[in-house]
């Protein structure tokens, strides 16, 4: 699904975190640098929205309204039926202004967006900006997990649409089905954070907005979204990063529903997968540690529909379970002994304050309609060692004893 973000000021143009090879170019197997770019259709597209949802194709061209670039873009349009058969978000891209690319797209009656990178930061992060200050004619193929699958540096402009379709098939990119069509997501995301201030949020004066990011300033409690409750069936997306050894969390339902935010490498909770980053805290552990290094932004996604809970981290689905399945009775019991109930609803979204450095941005939520299908494919949680399980039991026993005395 392609979602529309709302950004203000310079943030509308671009935000990215470059991950490049030693020679300055992204290579096959590298993660796609983060980006937020304006499309020729007036929408804003970001890696946060795309990664984890679909494969991505970005066909860079040097300059709008030139011969080769016109042929290339027309070829993509003329082969749209082949391209749209795949579950892929595909774009052309250049370092031209949004206005110029909008005119170019209109002149060719394109049915796909051209991304504009006038600051040239994304092109530089990829390594496709040449000495003339324009992008090379390179096309990037990116997997659902956000890693580069292929880079075509020998584009044949007049037949590029056919070449892209053939390469998608060769790479094994999934074909589009009724469940992967964009129309399957029938409700749009609502931005809960305007990037400027904390309008709509309640706190005790310990949270603020700096450079378009939510951060905390001293102890004082959680930051709670006050405009509405979390819908029973919902999808939440956000980005987070932590300082060294930091601990936080995102509460999205009552009854101890917490998406753990953590520096796995330095905080003691990182020793136990069931309390590590992206876990449903003290209930269900993620399948793997998909966190990025401290100080880098992580992309998170939470889906709750019916009795199914899914957690995603950096484009990877790391939790997917139905808590009514007897297979997970032990995990459910763990949370209940802490006072949590997985059937609880009507909760408020809140960002936990543990007194540690933490940052959030790009917080969006949508209601999932009852008739929208959910791609539920249970994932095996990470293994937990006997030593860690022993410590976990001791911790749980202490919690239960404190509750009895209270």
Q: Where in the chain is the domain with CATH 3.40.30.10?
A: 9-184
Quote the longest CA-to-CA distance of the chain: 79
Tens digit of each residue's pLDDT, the chain (406 residues): 444 333 333 343 434 433 444 457 999 999 999 999 999 999 899 998 899 889 999 999 999 999 999 999 999 999 988 898 899 999 999 999 999 999 999 999 999 999 999 999 999 999 999 999 999 999 999 999 999 999 999 999 999 999 999 999 999 998 876 444 444 455 688 999 999 999 999 999 999 999 889 999 777 799 999 999 999 999 999 999 999 999 999 999 987 899 999 999 999 999 999 999 999 999 999 999 999 899 888 989 999 999 999 999 987 899 999 999 999 999 999 888 888 889 999 899 999 998 899 999 989 999 999 989 888 988 999 999 999 999 988 888 888 888 777 6
pLDDT computed for residue 7 by the predictor: 38
Ramachandran sector of residue 232 (left: φ over 0; alpha: ψ -120 to 50; beta: rest): alpha
Cα(122)–Cα(129) distance, integer angstroms = 9
Query: Is residue 160 helix, strand or coil?
Result: helix
Tell the CATH superfamily of the 190-405 domain.
Answer: Exo-inulinase; domain 1 (2.60.120.560)
Long-range contacts of 21-26 (CB under 8 A, 24+ apart): 21/127, 23/127, 24/127, 25/126, 25/127, 25/128, 26/125, 26/126, 26/127, 26/140, 26/148, 26/151
Q: Determine the Cα–Cα distance for residues 43 and 50; give it in Å rounded to an integer.
A: 14
**What's the confidence (pLDDT) of residue 404?**
78
In this prediction, residue 177 carries a pLDDT of: 63
What pLDDT is stored for residue 296 in this prediction? 87
Is residue 88 within a helix (H) or strand (E), and if so which, with residue range? strand 88-94
Predicted confidence at residue 338, as pLDDT, reads: 81
Write down the H helix ranges in 243-385: 329-337
Distances (CA, A) of 46 to 3, 5, 277: 8, 8, 23
In this structure, CATH architecture of domain 9-184: 3-Layer(aba) Sandwich (3.40)
What pLDDT sits at residue 24?
77
Residue extent(s) of CATH 2.60.120.560 domains in the chain: 190-405
Decide: pTM greater than 0.85: no
Say what the pLDDT of residue 20 is: 41
> Position of tokens 């999932």?
368
């Amino acid at each position: 699904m392609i979602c529309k973000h709302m950004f203000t000021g310079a943030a509308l143009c671009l935000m990215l975190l470059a991950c490049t090879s030693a020679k300055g170019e992204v290579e096959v197997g590298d993660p796609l640098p983060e980006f937020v770019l304006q499309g020729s259709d007036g929408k804003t597209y970001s890696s946060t929205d795309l990664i984890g949802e679909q494969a991505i194709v970005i066909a860079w061209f040097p300059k709008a309204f030139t011969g080769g670039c016109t042929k290339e873009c027309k070829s993509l349009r003329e082969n749209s039926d082949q391209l749209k058969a795949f579950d892929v978000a595909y774009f052309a891209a250049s370092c031209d202004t949004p206005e110029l690319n909008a005119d170019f797209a209109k002149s060719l009656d394109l049915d796909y967006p051209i991304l504009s990178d006038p600051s040239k930061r994304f092109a530089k992060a990829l390594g496709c900006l040449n000495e003339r200050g324009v992008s090379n004619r390179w096309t990037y193929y990116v997997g659902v997990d956000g890693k580069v699958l292929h880079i075509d540096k020998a584009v044949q402009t007049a037949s590029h649409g056919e070449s892209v379709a053939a390469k998608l098939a060769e790479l094994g990119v999934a074909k589009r089905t009724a469940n992967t069509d964009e129309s399957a997501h029938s409700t749009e995301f609502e931005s809960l954070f305007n990037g400027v201030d904390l309008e709509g949020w309640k706190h005790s004066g310990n949270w603020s907005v700096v450079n378009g990011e939510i951060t905390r300033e001293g102890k004082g409690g959680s930051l709670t979204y006050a405009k509405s409750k979390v819908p029973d069936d919902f999808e939440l997306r956000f980005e987070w990063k932590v300082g060294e050894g930091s601990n936080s969390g995102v509460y999205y339902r009552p009854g101890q529903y917490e998406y753990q935010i953590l520096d796995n490498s330095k905080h003691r909770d990182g020793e136990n997968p069931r309390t590590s980053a992206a876990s449903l805290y003290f209930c269900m552990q993620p399948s793997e540690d998909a966190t990025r290094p401290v100080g880098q932004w992580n992309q998170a996604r939470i889906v709750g529909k019916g009795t199914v809970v899914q957690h995603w981290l950096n484009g990877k689905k790391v939790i997917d379970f139905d808590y009514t399945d007897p297979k997970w009775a032990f995990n459910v019991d763990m949370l209940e002994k802490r006072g949590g109930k997985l059937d609880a609803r009507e909760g408020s979204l809140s960002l936990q304050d543990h007194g540690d450095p933490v940052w959030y941005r790009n917080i969006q939520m949508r209601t999932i309609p009852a008739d929208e299908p959910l791609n539920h494919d249970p994932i095996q949680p990470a293994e937990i060692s006997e030593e860690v399980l022993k410590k976990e039991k001791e911790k749980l026993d202490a919690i239960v004893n404190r509750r009895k005395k209270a």
